[in-house]
Amino acid sequence: MSLAETSAHKTRTGSAAVIWQVVAVLVVLPSLGRGSAACGVAAGSGTIGSVHRASCACGFQVEVTVGGAKRTHLERASFPFYCEQCGLIGPNTAEDPIVCPSCRSAKVRQYGAPPVSIIAGKTGPVLEWASFEAFATENFCPACKHMTLVFGRARRFFS
């Protein structure tokens, strides 16, 4: 009898615990739901930043940032460009005109468009941000000055 009572008590306690967990999940879920939905939309429309490696057979290698943080991408978002003076740069594409962050020159060229990238026959850009896109191969290397710079897939993302 006392054993039955104990087990019944345990069962009730168990149910209560389960109910509490359900309540906790229901309370937490709406905020999680919003977060992950926003995140999914952001990734799909390119409003989340990523970091890629740009490398060349000549030994040149840098990391490039594509896009911006979720909260600030309208004011600050990056895409690889080529500056005649500074080489491979990551200007703020939210600025108009887009200028080199080092020398402030407006003589900058977007990677993924001629003349610093060969785009004929290319599909499936490896770098994408807003209306900017660039492909993995045949990009102008600022070190050896050949069209041998390669952009890699995203190494990591930030938001």
Q: Which residues bind Zn ion (CB under 5 A)?
A: 56, 58, 60, 83, 85-86, 100, 102-103, 105, 141, 143-144
Beta strands in the chain (DSSP E): 49-56, 61-66, 81-83, 87-89, 108-110, 127-129, 132-134, 149-151, 156-158
Q: Which is nearer to Zn ion, 36 or 85 (CB)?
A: 85
- The CB-of-109 to Zn ion minimum distance in angstroms stands at 11
Q: Among residues 47 and 52, whose Cβ is nearest to Zn ion? A: 52
CA–CA distances in Å: residue 53 to residues 71, 90, 101: 24, 13, 19
| 119/147 with CB nearer Zn ion | 147
Closest distance between Zn ion and the C-beta of residue 102, in Å? 5
Identify which of residues 86 and 136 has a Cβ nearer to Zn ion in the complex. 86
Smallest separation (angstroms) from Zn ion to the CB of 73 = 23
Looking at this protein, which amino acid is placed at residue 88?
Answer: L
91 close to 100: Cβ distance less than 8 angstroms: yes
- Is 112 in contact with 125 (CB distance < 8 Å)? yes
Shortest reach from residue 108's CB to Zn ion, in Å:
7
φ and ψ of 53, to 5 deg? -100, 135
Longest Cα pair distance anywhere in the chain, in angstroms?
Answer: 89
Work out how close the CB of 91 gets to Zn ion at its nearest, in angstroms, rounded to a whole number: 9
Instruction: Considering the complex, state which of residue 107 and residue 153 has its C-beta at the smaller distance from Zn ion.
Output: 107
Q: What are the beta bridge partners of residue 64?
A: 52
